[in-house]
Amino acid sequence: MLTLTHLLHLIVGVTWAGGNLFFALCLMPAMARRPADEAHALFEGIGRAAGLVMGVSGALVLITGPIRAVVGGGIGAVSDVFTPYGLMVLASFVIAVAVAGIDGASRGRLRRAFDNPATYPAVAGAVARRNAWVTSIGMLAVILIMGAMGLGLY
């Protein structure tokens, strides 16, 4: 059970993190440089193609992470959340939720900006820059925490 949970967590984690980084660092900046109508069409097309994969992988990351911590024995009781290992699990969970929330808010702001082509370039550029920074820093933090946990540095 632990091996299967660990493998699933890794697969969906890489899918979710990679998809978020690609969207934040490549697609959103590219959309910000296009006219609003072209960017809107691209956004909708990508949403249809990737929305389900990203939603499912993100949900599974948040579900399998804590399950992995419990099944693996790192968290056997509520008090274990306050151990170094438990705090690393908690920090990863909080960062992942925060990145997902900020990314969702950024996509919503971008979606609303499509309606006003005159202000779209400025709004889209600001949204793309902020989302790139937040997503990059958040994913880097989670990767570093996961690496430290994998190396037993807790």
Query: Could you tell me the residue ranges of all domains in the chain?
Result: 2-150
Give the pLDDT confidence of 23-60 residue by residue, as tens digits. 999 999 999 999 999 999 999 999 888 999 999 999 99
Q: What phi and psi values does residue 77 have, to the nearest 5 degrees?
A: -145, 160
Q: Which tens digits make up the pLDDT trace of 81-129?
A: 999 999 999 999 999 999 999 999 999 999 999 999 999 999 999 999 9
Of the candidates 97, 140, 131, 121, the one whose C-alpha atom is nearest the C-alpha of residue 39 is: 121
User: Token pair for residue 104?
Assistant: 């969702």
Global confidence as pTM = 0.88
